[in-house]
């Protein structure tokens, strides 16, 4: 790892990894168990932490077991967000032994927002900020079409988060006439230097035209206007090459480990 990547990773670990606890939409609750932040409610629960370094194997096992019991009592699926540099090194095996299923591996990339603001207009496509509930439901349908799964929950998630975060969560759409062909949102984290880039999925027939790049640029401009220094992305294999070409630096990988509620819990 380069010195730059190491510095960016240290800033990410320190500022971002437990920032979710600072603001919660209606219907969600947060509690702590040692180093863990546990958020309940929404599409599924979430477990985050800055570091588990220094804990014994037995202590890690106890944290996992208590998280399983906590969400199991609610009958709620939840995600344990694992990073490749997390300790202990056998944490994925421990999670699997407790019934967690790994989802797709993503690469955490970080770049200076001010260096990502340039983006050429895409012929026939308008980038527009979206604020209406109907637009968020369109995003849910778009995501469902792109990924071949039910993403309808995303509309209510964005609406609930916007109700709390307001303009700290600007949402942008790429429209070809009246058709929404891509969308992405910027998660500005108060008290940190970081904004997170989320979404960016584009309909198959519109890929390769620079839409993803244009959505990055408009969100980077907003981040700079608001005084944020860095942009961070949990990048899929499709978007990672684009982001690397734009100058973002890979600092680690991350994978959600998801556990569904078990009647025996």
Q: Over range 101-128, report the average pLDDT.
A: 96
Residue 130: which pLDDT band, with cuts at 50, 70 and 90?
very high
pLDDT of residue 258 exceeding 70, the answer is yes
pLDDT, tens digit (0-9, with 9 covering 90-100), for 91-109: 999 999 999 999 999 999 9
Q: How high is the pLDDT of residue 52?
A: 96
pLDDT value, residue 127 = 97
CA pseudo-torsion sign 196, 200, 161, 24 = negative
What's the pLDDT tens digit per position in 193-240? 999 999 999 999 999 999 999 999 999 999 999 999 999 999 999 899
How does pLDDT run across 146-160, given as a tens digit for each residue? Answer: 999 999 999 999 999
Omega before 88 cis (within 30°)? yes
CATH T-level fold of 111-251: Aminopeptidase (3.40.630)
By the 8 A CB rule, do 132 and 89 touch? no
Report percent pLDDT > 90 for the chain.
90
Name 61's Cβ contacts closer than 8 Å, sequence gap at least 6. Answer: 94
Domain ranges of the chain: 3-106+254-259, 111-251
Residue-wise pLDDT tens digits, 24-70: 888 899 999 999 999 999 899 999 999 999 999 999 999 999 999 99
Q: Is the pLDDT of residue 21 over 60?
A: no
Of the chain, the percentage scoring pLDDT greater than 70 comes to 98
How many alpha carbons lie under 13 Å from residue 28 in its C-beta half-sphere? 25
């Amino acid at each position: 790892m380069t010195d730059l990547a190491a510095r960016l990773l240290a800033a990410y670990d320190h500022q971002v990894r437990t920032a979710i606890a600072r603001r919660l939409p209606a219907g969600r609750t947060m509690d702590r168990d040692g180093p863990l932040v546990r958020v309940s409610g929404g599409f599924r629960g979430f477990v985050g932490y800055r570091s588990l370094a220094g804990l014994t194997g037995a202590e890690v096992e106890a944290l996992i077991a208590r998280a399983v019991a906590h969400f199991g009592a609610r009958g709620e699926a939840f995600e344990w967000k694992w990073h490749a540099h997390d300790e202990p090194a056998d944490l994925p095996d421990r999670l699997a032994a407790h019934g967690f299923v790994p989802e797709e591996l993503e690469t955490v990339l970080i770049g200076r927002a001010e260096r990502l603001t340039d983006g050429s207009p895409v012929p026939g496509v308008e980038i527009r900020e979206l604020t209406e509930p109907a637009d968020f439901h369109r995003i849910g349908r778009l995501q469902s079409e792109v990924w071949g799964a039910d993403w309808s929950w995303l509309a209510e998630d964005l609406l609930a988060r916007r109700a709390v975060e307001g303009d700290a969560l600007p949402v942008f759409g790429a429209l070809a006439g009246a058709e929404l062909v891509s969308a992405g949102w910027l998660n500005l984290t108060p008290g940190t230097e970081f904004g997170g880039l989320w979404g960016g999925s584009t309909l198959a027939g519109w890929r390769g035209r620079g839409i993803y790049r244009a959505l990055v640029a408009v969100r980077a401009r907003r981040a700079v206007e608001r005084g944020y220094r860095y942009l961070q992305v949990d990048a899929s294999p499709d978007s990672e090459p684009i982001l690397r070409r734009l100058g973002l630096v890979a600092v680690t990988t991350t994978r959600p480990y998801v556990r569904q509620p078990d009647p025996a819990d």
